[in-house]
Structure 1
Amino acid sequence: MYSILVVDDEPLIVKGLTSLLQTSGLAIEHIYNAHSGYEALDYLRMEEIDLLITDIQMDAMTGIELMHQARLIKPWVQTIVISAHETFQYAQMAMRLGAKDYLIKPLNSEQFLDSVRNVLLKLERKDEGVLQPGEAELRESFRMEQPVADKTSLLNKLFGPAGEAADAIRQLRERYGVQLEGSYFSVLRLQLGKRKASGLMPLTSKDEELLQYAALNIVKELVGQEWSHIAFYSPNQELSILLQWNEVAYADMNVNKINLLDMIGRGLHFNIYKFLGIACVVGISQILRGTEFLGELYNQAAQAAKWHQEHQDHYVFYYGDFNWSAYTHQEPTREELHDQTNLIVERAKAYIDENFTQKGLTLHEVAQKNHVSPNYLSYLFKKITGFNLWEYVIKLRMELSKSLITGTDLRRYEIAERVGYESPEHFSKIFKKFYGISPSEMKK
């Protein structure tokens, strides 16, 4: 059974789509409604959403902005976009962000339900397809061509000395038609760990090969055609992904590249863990211009992944999250690490304390002020304070709203406005979820 979030600033459309879904006979457990992007983000933070259905043009936050934020919070959430405009640019941006369909208003009911059905069917197949290494089902599920050993060897040489890398680029182009199209590059290194299930027979070398093959298939499916990339085997049961952008793609201001890397890393870890049972550690490099820096990027990704030794309950690490200049050596001591992480959380907490009533406050904004990725900030904040970062924002808002309800004569809409909510209705839902009673019941 799945949960769907329907978002549109036109209440009649939300009501109509919800009614269609309720009577569709599809495997839907919960249907949540939001009338703005900000309301939608709260549902995404607090509920387990499988499918987001959003209008693309809304006043406070566009559907494109919502998709950006949704993929930061939960990269695996699927999306269907609805729009009153057949503008190619909108459709292109939506598809680049992973939208599974782009439907034009007025919606055809059958077409809409077919689109939802297709998304849910794919989710259902994945949920039922628990893959066991060595089993026939796994072999049947992955029909990707087995990587050619010589080609894989050349791809790994891209990260070697400059002369060797240049020769590998030439041979890849001449022998296999592999062209490095980017001016800008980043490297992700995936370290495939042990299976999560206990009580299993030890893996044979053939099983490990099969798991590496299956993980590479997941990488290709997830990264797919959305981003220009080359994925391949690397030594020590690793996978490498070389992401590349040409000048035009890199200049696209609609996509925050660091958030994109973070989102890809988290999506890869989530899906490999879910479908293969492998605890995969992902190290992510910065983005640099020029093929001469490929070796450095490869080393950065390895250095980032090493931080899993210090944060063993965290799996996705971005090189730029760590203030390397603060250390006199590459391996900081535990005391240095503790001081840096505490400072990041203290600054984030101070920023939230000062700005929690701001409408449209986002995790991205808080992370940007701290010069770290949203993923790493979320992890550190929970680890050190015991609170999920957005739970902390809601806690501050609810405590203030309670004092305003019990200590002033302000109306509900005035209190909602003061504590950072767009609508009184949405404020009331959050309040009741937090305190167990409505604002009016508390007033009495």
Structure 2
Amino acid sequence: MYNILIVDDEPLICEGLTQLLSTSGIAIKGLFNAHSGYEALDYIRMEDIDLLVTDIQMGSMSGIELMQQAKIIKPWVQVIIISAHETFQYAQLAIRFGAKDYLIKPLNSEQFLSSVRHVLLHMDKTARDSEQMLSDLNDGFRMREPLPVRMELLKSLLEPHTGNREAIIAELAKGHGIDLSGPYYAVIKARLDLESGGRTLTKRDDELLQYAVLNIAGELLGKEWDYQSFYDSGGTVCIIIQWTEAKYGDSSVDKVNQLEMIGRSLHFNVDKFLGFGCVVGISQILKGADFLGVTNEQGDKAMRWSRQFKDHYVFYYGDFKWGVYSEEEPTEEEINAQNNLIVERATRYINANYAQKGLTLNEVALKNHVSPNYLSYLFKKNTGCNLWEYVIKLRMEESKRLIQTTDLRRYEISELVGYESPEHFSKIFKKYFGVSPSEMKK
């Protein structure tokens, strides 16, 4: 059963698509409507949305911006873009940000339902593939092992003391048709926690699970990313991601956020479909093949932080302040002091800006020079409260004060506490307090 969110600033379109989906026979648990990007983000934060269907042009926040913010919050949310503009640049941008389809208004009903069915079925494909691999274990299933020579060449690229990496890249291109010319690279590493599944595993099970993780990574990265994936001798899955000069120069994409989205989606899907925990380490993006060994070390170091944070699973190397000269791991006291400072700064920034329309987790994280993923984790760990729940708490308490002590109208209060739509403000208010603004006024 799926939850679907439809976003369009034209209410009739939302109503029409809701009616169409509700009578389609698709296994739908909940249908939600929003008329702006900011309203949609609240649904994504508060509900388990599986599929986002959004118009591309909606006033103060576009569908592209909404998709970016939605995937920072929940990277596994699938997206279909609808647009009145049959423009290649729009479609190209939407697909690059991870949209699964781009449909032109006026929508053809059958085409729309076919697209929705295809996206929802694709969400289950990785689960079916991975479960099939595990069920086939005792039936003589044979994995298509990566070619040993190719595997060894890729592993040697990431070793810290490898000499002429350009020669290895040339051999991969000539002998295996693999282009790793970069010049920008990052490494994502994933290690299964085999004890977390509660099962006794043989060596054969280990190998099959590694292969399943590679399969999940391939499904997530698809054709949108330029990458190579393999597993090293220690059983860790390695993903080398590269960008050309032209693609890296596209500043419309926050690439670190995208890497974290991949990492969080990988962890989510491994846990959901394989039933095992997974620690993911993400390197910084560095220029030049000579730094591939460094990115590999950074991925390993990032994973090592799971020792300090056993309830966190995706780690970006740049979030942690290693010694400037020695690259030594900070002490526990230094880590706690740094993390407390991050949360204090974030809290101060939110207290000063909670009424700002369009306030996002990404904005708060940028002010603290950490990733949204790590800030969310630290804020919840240190305060016991989800970061956006804290924003809503401040907005709701202030709106309650204004209702009880002033004669301001609902739309004026809504504006003052950061909501675009009085109707959306009323929904959030009633969900938070159990009564509507007008009922509280009485």
Aligned amino acid, residue 297 of structure 1: T
| Equivalent residue for 2:391, pick from 371, 381, 393 | 393
Deviation digits for residues 213-258 of structure 1, max 9, x if unmatched?
A: 1111111111111111111111211011111000110011110011
Q: Give 1:178's aligned amino acid.
A: I
Q: 1:111 maps to which residue?
A: 111
Give the superposition deviation at 1:195: 5.3
Quickly say closer, same or farther: Cα 1:120–1:195, change in 2 above 3 A: farther
Closer/same/farther in 2, CA of residues 388 and 59 from structure 1, 3 Å limit: same
Determine helix, strand or coil for the equivalent of 1:131. Answer: helix
Matches within 5 A, 1:46-65: 46-65=46-65
* CA pair 144-381 structure 1, distance change in 2 beyond 3 A: same
Q: Deviations over 1:379-434 (max 9, x none)?
A: 00000000100000000000000000111000000000000000000000000111
**Paired amino acid for 1:440:** S
Residues 323-334 of structure 1 correspond to what in structure 2 (within 5 A)? 323-325=321-323, 330-334=328-332
- In structure 1, which of residues 247, 257, 260 is the aligned counterpart of residue 258 of structure 2? 260
CA–CA separation in structure 2 for the residues paired with 1:420 and 1:303: 40
2:422 matched residue in structure 1: 424
TM alignment of 1:313-324, pairs within 5 A: 313-324=311-322
Within 5 A, what are the aligned runs for 1:294-309?
A: 294-309=292-307
The aligned amino acid for 1:321 is D
Number of the residue aligned with 2:70: 70
State how 1:43-442 maps to structure 2 within 5 Å: 43-124=43-124, 131=131, 134-136=134-136, 145-160=144-159, 161-194=161-194, 196-198=196-198, 200=199, 202-325=200-323, 330-442=328-440
Give the direction of change, closer, same or farther, for the CA distance of 1:55–1:134 in structure 2 (3 Å limit): closer
Change (3 A) 1:249 1:147: same
Residues 283, 316 of structure 1: 8 Å contact kept: yes
Change beyond 3 A, Cα 1:143–1:422: farther
In the alignment, the residues of structure 2 paired with residue 186 and residue 253 of structure 1 have an alpha-carbon distance, to the nearest angstrom, of: 17
Q: Classify 1:175/1:127 alpha carbon distance in 2 versus 1 (closer, same or farther; 3 Å).
A: closer
Q: Specify whether residues 139 and 8 from structure 1 end up closer, same or farther in structure 2 by C-alpha distance, changes over 3 A only.
A: farther
Moved more, 118-127 or 367-376: 118-127
Assess, with a 3 A threshold, how the Cα gap between structure 1 residues 294 and 76 changes in structure 2: closer, same or farther: same
* 2:205 counterpart letter in structure 1: D
For each residue in 1:48-70, what CA deviation from the matched residue of structure 2 results, as whole angstroms up to 9, or x when unmatched?
Answer: 00110000111010000011111
CA contact (8 A) 2:321 2:330 kept: no
- Secondary structure class of the residue paired with 1:185: strand
**In structure 2, C-alpha distance between the alignment counterparts of 1:221 and 1:356, rounded to whole Å:** 38
Long gaps (5+) in structure 2: none
Taking the aligned partners of 2:232 and 2:264, their CA distance within structure 1 comes to 20
Q: CA deviation at 1:96?
A: 1.5
379-388 or 120-129, which deviates more = 120-129
Kept after mapping to 1: 8 A contact 2:2/2:28: yes
Give how far 1:174 is off. 2.4
Instruction: Tell me the TM-score normalized by structure 2.
Output: 0.96
Tell me whether 1:35 sits opposite 2:39 in the alignment: no
Query: Could you tell me which amino acid in structure 1 is paired with residue 196 of structure 2?
Result: K
Taking the aligned partners of 1:165 and 1:138, their CA distance within structure 2 comes to: 41
| TM-score relative to the length of structure 1 | 0.95
Counterpart of 1:157, as a letter, is S
- Which amino acid letter does the alignment assign opposite residue 174 of structure 2? E
Cα distance in 1 for partners of 2:215, 2:343 equals 37
- How many pairs were matched up? 441
Separation in 2, partners of 1:151, 1:127: 28
- Contact kept, 8 Å, 1:190 with 1:280, in 2: the verdict is yes
Kept after mapping to 2: 8 A contact 1:159/1:165 = no
**What residue identity is the alignment partner of 2:341?**
L
- For 1:184 and 1:235, locate their aligned partners in 2 and report how far apart those are by CA, in whole Å: 25
What is the CA distance between 1:128 and its match in structure 2? 6.5
Of 222-231 and 325-334, deviating more is: 325-334
Q: Secondary structure at the match of 2:158?
A: coil
**Match for 2:206: what amino acid?**
E
- Whole-Å Cα distance in 2 between the matches of residues 128 and 178 of structure 1? 29
Pair 1:17-2:10 in alignment = no
Distance 1:128 1:404, change over 3 A: farther
- Distance in 2, matches of 1:278 and 1:330, equals 31
Find the aligned partners of 1:236 and 1:429 in 2 and give their Cα distance.
Answer: 51
Contact 1:157 1:164 in 2 (8 A): no
Conserved 8 A contact 1:158-1:166: no
**Quick check: 2:7–2:36 contact (8 Å CA) kept in 1?**
yes
- Is 1:131–1:276's contact at 8 Å kept on the other side of the alignment? yes
Cα separation, 2, equivalents of 1:124 and 1:224 = 15
Identity %: 61
RMSD: 1.9
Tell me: CA distance 1:192–1:349, structure 2 relative to 1, closer, same or farther (3 Å): same
Amino acid at match of 1:312: K
Rounded to whole Å, the distance in 2 between the matches of 1:391 and 1:362 is: 12
Contact 2:126–2:216 under 8 Å retained in 1: no
2:126, 2:219 within 8 Å by CA — same for their partners in 1? no
